[in-house]
Structure 1
Amino acid sequence: MNNRILNPVLALVFIFLLPACNHAQQESLQSTSTVPELKQDTASDQIFLSITGDTLYPVVQTEKEWRAQLTDAEFNVLREAGTERAFTGEFWDNKKKGIYTCAACGLPLFDSATKFKSGTGWPSYYQPIKKENVKEIVDTSYGMRRVEVVCARCGGHLGHVFEDGPKPTGLRYCLNSVSLDFVPKEK
């Protein structure tokens, strides 16, 4: 008889405590949203958490494995932080509805609903699908101070984010088409 009462009570306690844990985790993630300094070793073995508490396990491969998986252009951008020429990428003027994913690991990154015409020649978005799906790193290469955007799962270089975008965020995630794959929305 005691188990009949105790089990439903424990279930209710669990149901009410779970959202509180998730809320605390969200506050913790939001309070640590500062941009880290660029390091020589970008620690691709770190685990990044999504806002829903799902764990994004890192994709760790050797240079040889990445070279076998990616085209030369993809490898240059995603693994060596290269940049494709403006107005040459496949997606800079793509107007189709869908989701843009990381070309290296398939993680959903940006929704076409946040894409806008920036005039730069690269696909531009004002926010990622989930902030936790991208990592921002201070980039001081070439004598400039910029913020590099990388995939949070595989560490692939996507592009840079600038503070000259449209509302509602004021941000412009300026990305290389070659670092993305496009999954059209089904009709």
Structure 2
Amino acid sequence: MSRIQPLRREDLPQYEETFQAVENALGVLPNSTLTMARHPEVMAAFARLNAVVMADGRVGGVLKQLVATIVSAAAGCSYCQAHTSHVAEQRGADAEKLAAVWEFEASPLFTEAERAALRVARGAGLTPNAVTDQDMVALRRHFDDEQVVEIVAVIANFGFLNRWNDTMATELERSPLSWAGEHLQDHGWSAGKHSSRTPEAP
């Protein structure tokens, strides 16, 4: 159960344009957006940043979602893992490949370029940051400087979201919760504090 309750969408008609843009991108309006709405400038600024960072650019949207999934897994954010893997599927990620993303180093479904990007994402999600010079050299064998900036922007974007959602214990919405329960539990995923359970009294 969320530690700070999201506001109700129907009570915030002045932000409907932002809500619709976020919902169109993700297929659902996240509770994280409705919690950020308690500080509208933060919500609007983050929504704009997220739209730019996660859009198809010189790095494709599916790879960006896989990067976001891996960095969120490394950071331990179940909420963001559910959202990013679900959006990856919506954007056309191959189901078999998506199921194997946790074994990207060994799976033949991934290219060397994808492995390099996901390796950096995994290292960047750890504390302290575990990305090495060798990891970046490998990344730059496959991506130019502008593409590297796009990939690192995704990682940094989810640094914000992972900490926001894990600290707030943001409750997962029905669609990503259902999808993650069906597709991610075999890989050790659980909703944990992002479920609708009532927290125990101190």
Higher helix proportion (structure 1 or 2): 2
Larger radius of gyration: 1
Greater relative contact order structure (CA < 8 Å, 6+ sep): 2
Same fold? TM cut 0.5: no
TM-score, normalised relative to structure 2:
0.23
